[in-house]
Structure 1
Amino acid sequence: MSNESGIGMEATLAIADKVERFVRDVVVPYEQDDRRDHHDCPTDALVTELREKARAAGVLTPHILPDGRHLSQRETAIVLARTGLSPLGPLACNTAAPDEGNMYLLGKVGSDEIKAKFLQPLIEGQARSAFFMTEPAAEGGAGSDPSMMQTMCKLDGNHWVINGRKAFITGAAGAHMGIVMARAEEGACMFLVDLPDPAITIEHVPNTIDSSMPGGHAVVRIDNLRVPADQMLGQAGEGFQYAQVRLAPARLSHCMRWLGACIRANEIANDYANRRQAFGKTLIDHEGVGFMLAENMIDLKQAELMIDWCADVLDTGALGTAESSMAKVAVSEALMRVADKCVQVMGGSGVTSDTIVEQVFREIRAFRIYDGPTEVHKWSLAKKIKRDWKKAHA
């Protein structure tokens, strides 16, 4: 999986077109399926049914080829945007967070044993995963600043013992495996764990504005969790390094998927504006509405170009931290404008669940926060500007 040399644009577009047909023809009708939990998140039964259909259609985990090769980031961007044409598309095609990011990380740095035990079931769509990094803010734990990590780990014989609390852990409820970050004397560490485990207790799953990810975003307690030493990723103290390997591409993957969702929401708004009559003409012929949809066209294209640029940087082998921060800010803010205008154009219809437009609006609002709020990324970029200035004037 670590080979990201790519397969070429013609082959990539063939995969993407196949994915798009599947999402539009098979997945979209499931958007009104009532198999949702009390947080309005899709149930595992619904996800399993969709993945079986994706497997039969040959579009399950389409960004990873049968021989284990991973599409380049530029190629992945094209495919993941097509899966995002429905909020259920990434779940059906097995390109959703946090699984997609976890697959990327394990493919990059996992041992052969870890890949066989933990990665392969994810690729096959047989398991869900979680990434345990964020901690409760009230306890001074890690959030946007991972150096504040309070979860501790200590070596005991051939096992590591982990204690702490985590918050906003997407998909923890119902996950089959997890990647847990904790702090040792040597620094941050990452561990692969089987789930469920009696040492990991889900304390609370809050209701949140978004509802696309099974299991919600849980608060969990970790009490004396024992993990075999060979289930640590790399060496003690290398956890932050591996977090960066995962987080830069993961930020971009969110951009890819939500670009697809906003393209679809904009299609729905365009259709509405061209059919709806008001004050003697269709809405699209009213300048106020027409200009909003024109602005959507511009924002969607700018988001696409920003994603392509950042993907090209990552494909060079660069860590791409600054580039992914810029992409995350620019794309999430642009897509928020698109989603908001789609709701506005559709009026009362835009705030109902009759279409996916209102859900896309909610999902994009949450996207502006997770994987680093806009302000944190701007602050990080400002620090880079200062470092670069000092270096240039040394």
Structure 2
Amino acid sequence: MNFEPTERQQYWRDRVRDFIETNVRPNTGTYAEQDAQGDRWKVIPIVEDMKAKAKAQGIWNLFMPPQGQLSHVDDTFEFDGPGLTNLEYALCAEEMGRIGWASEVFNCSAPDTGNMEVFHRYGTRAQKDRWLKPLMEGEIRSAFLMTEPDVASSDATNIETRIERDGDHYVINGRKWWSSGAGDPRCKIAIVMGKTDFGAQRHAQQSMIVMPLDAEGVTIERHLPVFGYDDAPHGHMEITLDNVRVPADNLLLGEGRGFEIAQGRLGPGRIHHCMRTIGVAEEALAKMCRRLQAREAFGKPIYKHSVWEERVARARIDIEMTRLLCLKAADMMDKVGNKTAKQEIAMIKVQAPNMALKIIDDAIQAHGGGGVSNDYGLAKAYAHQRTLRLADGPDEVHARSIARMEFAKHAPRPDGDAVSSGDMGATR
């Protein structure tokens, strides 16, 4: 087991890191100024400037799967990125996580990443030409409409949105919320999950379809703030779909294949969030250490009070453990596939945001009153990380999955004896 990054892993990580330190971090003030000016829902110029630079340097679409991972529909290679593995991308995504808007600079921000992977894996050539190409070029943005306000969306089989065939069209009716990205004026399309057959088997009722955001019958009712943050220009929207007609050719993969697509989409998306989360935690720890060494209380620097030594040490230990679990999950996805790595994916999805939340909370405490203000970015980081305990499946769902797999390893034999891990040998 080699823990040293390969030359290729270092090459891509360092290119991303250097670009962020040279171009993105020095412009955080510019971003804040432009974000505060004018309409909340707008294109921020400095982001577009940085995107053009990153694209010109070839640090672009790093999340796209390698060429060996063919589309389920055709075998074209015209829509590929640099071909990084999940493990290689993990190191890059950690660097992107250090600054909130950095991932968009490299065209690697959600929900576009997940939507592009859907088109790449499940889209027809026509669908790729029409939607995947402009997404990969960074010309448009997209949304993913799955969660609904009237059902427990932690169980995706509960969704009630209807997608009904009517001649050469499908008609969509329903209400979605937490539709991230729909506030951006560049957001042109959404992938909508709904049911085409309420009488089919439980996991064969759902389908996914591509819906233009400006289609008649699409109404953005309101934006949903997160702990008071509007997350503009990205936004999280509640959207009503009232007899929205879209061409039948917009259906992805086929009727009843929506749950299958969702599982394929959410696996990589979950670990992408976790990769970035490690970068968020590193930034919070750095801010905490700088603050503790810059202030005095009760006659000595704050960092010399033993309680802070314990907290900082715990933070470093937790980051290192979480990074190793994340890299293990990414490596398993590369070597044995997402399905076999599902327990590792579930574990990192629970661990990463909880780890980051604890470190951010300690950093807030270290900054005193300033920590809960907007001055240091910690309150906003906390709000974002708290949503990750819900996004792409709540902790409880992933814990349930982990526990069930663990119980299965030790299930009683027909003779009444339990199966031990030693009996099973290598389980993964």
Structure 1 length as normaliser, TM-score? 0.89
Give the C-alpha shift of residue 382 in structure 1: 3.1
Q: 1:273, 1:56 → 2: CA distance?
A: 40
**Which one of the candidate residues 168, 171, 181 is aligned to 1:171?**
181
Q: 2:363, 2:40 → 1: CA distance?
A: 23
**Which one of the candidate residues 222, 237, 256 is aligned to 2:241?**
222
Equivalent residue number for residue 224 of structure 2: 206
Give the C-alpha shift of residue 59 in structure 1: 2.6
Equivalent residue number for residue 238 of structure 1: 257
Rg: which structure is higher? Answer: 2
Structure 2 length as normaliser, TM-score? 0.83
In the alignment, is residue 111 of structure 1 matched against residue 124 of structure 2? yes
Q: Is the 8 A contact 2:162 2:173 kept in 1?
A: yes
**Which one of the candidate residues 67, 72, 83 is aligned to 2:85?**
72
Q: 2:410, 2:247 → 1: CA distance?
A: 46
**Which one of the candidate residues 155, 164, 168 is aligned to 1:145?**
155
In the alignment, is residue 45 of structure 1 matched against residue 44 of structure 2? yes
Q: 2:40, 2:279 → 1: CA distance?
A: 19
Give a deviation string over 1:171-215, Cα, whole Å, max 9, x none: 112311111111011510011222322221101112222555633
Letter of the aligned partner of 1:124 in structure 2? E
5 Å matches for 1:154-165? 154-165=164-175
Give a deviation string over 1:50-70, Cα, whole Å, max 9, x none: 423433444333334885453
What RMSD, in angstroms, separates the aligned Cα atoms of the two structures?
2.5
Structure ranking higher on relative contact order (CA contacts 8 Å, 6+ apart): 1
Equivalent residue number for residue 82 of structure 1: 95
Give the C-alpha shift of residue 122 in structure 1: 1.4
Q: 2:152, 2:112 → 1: CA distance?
A: 21
Of 24-33 and 307-316, more deviation after overlay is shown by 24-33
Equivalent residue number for residue 305 of structure 2: 286
5 Å matches for 1:251-290? 251-290=270-309
Q: 1:391, 1:76 → 2: CA distance?
A: 40
Q: 2:304, 2:41 → 1: CA distance?
A: 38
1:182/1:321 CA distance change after superposition, 3 Å: same
Give the C-alpha shift of residue 104 in structure 1: 2.0
Q: 1:200, 1:43 → 2: CA distance?
A: 20
Letter of the aligned partner of 1:355 in structure 2? Y
In the alignment, is residue 31 of structure 1 matched against residue 31 of structure 2? no
Equivalent residue number for residue 419 of structure 2: none
- The alignment partner of 2:109 has SS state of coil
Letter of the aligned partner of 2:44 in structure 1? A
Q: Is the 8 A contact 1:343 1:361 kept in 2?
A: no
Give the C-alpha shift of residue 149 in structure 1: 0.9
**Which one of the candidate residues 324, 331, 337 is aligned to 2:352?**
331
Aligned length: 384
Give the C-alpha shift of residue 131 in structure 1: 0.5
Give the C-alpha shift of residue 145 in structure 1: 0.8
**Which one of the candidate residues 69, 79, 102 is aligned to 2:115?**
102
1:198/1:329 CA distance change after superposition, 3 Å: same
Give the C-alpha shift of residue 30 in structure 1: 3.6
Q: Is the 8 A contact 2:372 2:378 kept in 1?
A: yes
Q: Is the 8 A contact 1:36 1:42 kept in 2?
A: no
**Which one of the candidate residues 4, 9, 13 is aligned to 1:12?**
9
Q: 1:340, 1:41 → 2: CA distance?
A: 28
Q: 2:379, 2:130 → 1: CA distance?
A: 39
Q: 1:264, 1:390 → 2: CA distance?
A: 43
1:60/1:68 CA distance change after superposition, 3 Å: closer
Q: 2:278, 2:171 → 1: CA distance?
A: 41
Runs of 5+ unmatched residues, structure 2: 67-78, 416-428
- The alignment partner of 1:196 has SS state of coil
- The alignment partner of 1:381 has SS state of helix
- The alignment partner of 2:367 has SS state of helix
Q: Is the 8 A contact 1:63 1:79 kept in 2?
A: no
5 Å matches for 1:344-363? 344-363=365-384
Q: 2:157, 2:117 → 1: CA distance?
A: 23
Letter of the aligned partner of 1:177 in structure 2? I
Of 200-209 and 45-54, more deviation after overlay is shown by 45-54
Q: 2:90, 2:232 → 1: CA distance?
A: 20
Give the C-alpha shift of residue 12 in structure 1: 2.9
Q: Is the 8 A contact 1:167 1:217 kept in 2?
A: yes
Q: 2:238, 2:305 → 1: CA distance?
A: 48
Q: 1:212, 1:300 → 2: CA distance?
A: 26
Task: Please identify runs of 4+ aligned residues in structure 1 that moved more than 6 A.
Answer: none
Q: 1:213, 1:365 → 2: CA distance?
A: 18
1:265/1:324 CA distance change after superposition, 3 Å: same
In the alignment, is residue 55 of structure 1 matched against residue 55 of structure 2? yes
Q: 2:289, 2:368 → 1: CA distance?
A: 13
- The alignment partner of 1:176 has SS state of strand
Runs of 5+ unmatched residues, structure 1: 1-7
Q: Is the 8 A contact 2:63 2:81 kept in 1?
A: no
1:120/1:23 CA distance change after superposition, 3 Å: same
Letter of the aligned partner of 2:51 in structure 1? R
Q: 2:349, 2:219 → 1: CA distance?
A: 32
1:268/1:106 CA distance change after superposition, 3 Å: same
Equivalent residue number for residue 420 of structure 2: none
- The alignment partner of 2:35 has SS state of coil
1:213/1:314 CA distance change after superposition, 3 Å: farther
Q: Is the 8 A contact 1:103 1:119 kept in 2?
A: yes
1:240/1:393 CA distance change after superposition, 3 Å: farther
1:211/1:205 CA distance change after superposition, 3 Å: closer
1:212/1:11 CA distance change after superposition, 3 Å: farther
